[in-house]
Amino acid sequence: MKVSLTCYFPRLKRKAVGTRAAGDVFAGSFAASFVRERNLKSAIEFAIKAAAYSVTIKGAQSSIPGQKDLDQFLKERIK
Mean pLDDT, rounded, for 8-24: 91
Helix (H) or strand (E) holding 72: helix 67-77
Res. 3 pLDDT band, cuts 50 70 90:
confident
52 with 31: CB under 8 angstroms?
A: no
* Catalytic residue (choose from 24, 48, 69, 74): 24
14, amino acid identity: R
Flag whether 56 is in a domain: yes
- pTM score, two decimals? 0.84
pLDDT in tens, 28-79: 999 999 999 999 999 999 999 999 999 999 999 999 999 999 899 888 876 5
Domain that holds residue 45: 22-77
Q: Is-catalytic flag, 24?
A: yes
pLDDT at 22: 95
If one counts the domains in the chain, the total is: 1
